Amino acid sequence: MAKKIIVGNWKMNPKSAREANDISEKIFRGARKLKNISAVICPPAPFISLIKGVLGAQDVFYEKDGAYTGGISAEMLKSLSVRYVIVGHSERRSAGDTNDIVNKKLKVVLNAKMAPILCVGELTRDHHGQYFHFVRDQIRQALKNVSKNIVHKIILAYEPLWAIGKNAKGVLPGEEALHMNIFIRKVIADIAGATTAKKIKVLYGGSVDAKNAKKFISAGKMDGLLVGRESLNPKNFLEIIKNADAV
Ligand code: PEP
């Protein structure tokens, strides 16, 4: 059985390198014992080189090098042994990342031989299922001109915006996670074929905690989870990981 991927997105936390070290050590020490899980931490960029464990980055810039103050290239991340890069997170999208920018970022990550974690998800739900079209459009645009035979390297993270963060309006029911999982695979099948659609990993993100983690993996048939707030608390994050391991 393929390992479930549980990704912690620390966002702009914690405050110090010492805390980052301490939290990550506890998480990786606990996660190492579990056979069915691959735990990944996406710390803020300044802490990446300090952390020993499977690493992801929260963002990337799409240019190779040059006069781009503050920019971090895919090659730089690769040189720090980063394996995963989040692209299209809703917080980056609301800071200006268009679908076109997400597409450029996704391509540089693939070119650098890392796995992009492509975040997609609707802002709100409607009764007519327009949100499915919205998600399909985000995926299609992000994958524009990506060679079909490398699409399986992309990890999709379904993150409905209304279910993310401390102002979340609700929690996604397990069967609705399953509907979206199936729908995302259908979109991928149309783009890159049925074999890729079966192979690709789909994660769920949005207010995941120790109580609901199992539901997304079992009822939602997700290949893993993308966790925000709870990934900064080693005890809670390990509880999520253990519950996902037990499914
Ligand atoms: C996120 O912002 O990607 C996220 C999943 O956050 P949280 O788990 O805090 O809802």
Burial classification of residue 179, based on how many CB atoms lie within 10 Å of its CB (0-12 exposed, 13-18 middle, 19 or more buried): middle
Give me the active site residues, please: 89, 159
Listing from the earlier edge strand, what are the strands of the sheet with 115-120? 37-42, 4-9, 224-227, 201-205, 155-158, 115-120, 84-87, 56-57
Is 234's C-beta closer than 6 angstroms to any atom of ligand 1?
no
Query: Which of 169, 209, 229 most suits a substitution to test ligand 1, by most atoms within 8 Å of the C-beta?
Result: 229
What pLDDT does residue 1 have?
A: 75
pTM value is 0.97
Q: Tell me the mean pLDDT per 10 residues along the chain, length 247.
A: 94 98 97 93 97 97 97 98 98 97 98 98 92 97 97 98 92 94 98 97 97 96 97 98 93
Distance of CA 41 from the midpoint of ligand 1 (Å): 13
C-alpha–C-alpha distance, residues 216 and 220, integer Å: 4
For the chain, the residue count is 247
Q: Which atom of ligand 1 is nearest to the CA of 226?
A: 5
The pLDDT value recorded for residue 238 is 97
97 in contact with ligand 1, CB cutoff 6 A: no
Q: Is 31 in the pocket of ligand 1 (CB under 6 A)?
A: no
Q: Is the CB of 243 under 6 A from ligand 1?
A: no
Mutate to test the pocket of ligand 1, among 156, 159, 167, 236 (most ligand atoms within 8 A of CB): 159
| Ligand 1 centroid from CA 148, angstroms | 30
Cα radius of gyration rounded to whole Å, the chain: 17
Q: Is 165 in the pocket of ligand 1 (CB under 6 A)?
A: yes
CA proximity to 102, closest of 112, 93, 114: 93
Atom 1 of ligand 1 has which residue's CA nearest to it?
A: 228
Q: What is the pLDDT of residue 209?
A: 96
Residue ID of nearest Cα to ligand 1 atom 8: 228
160 Cβ closer than 6 Å to some ligand 1 atom: no
Q: Are residues 71 and 108 in contact, defined by beta-carbon separation less than 8 angstroms?
A: no
Cα 79 from Cα 81, distance rounded (Å):
5
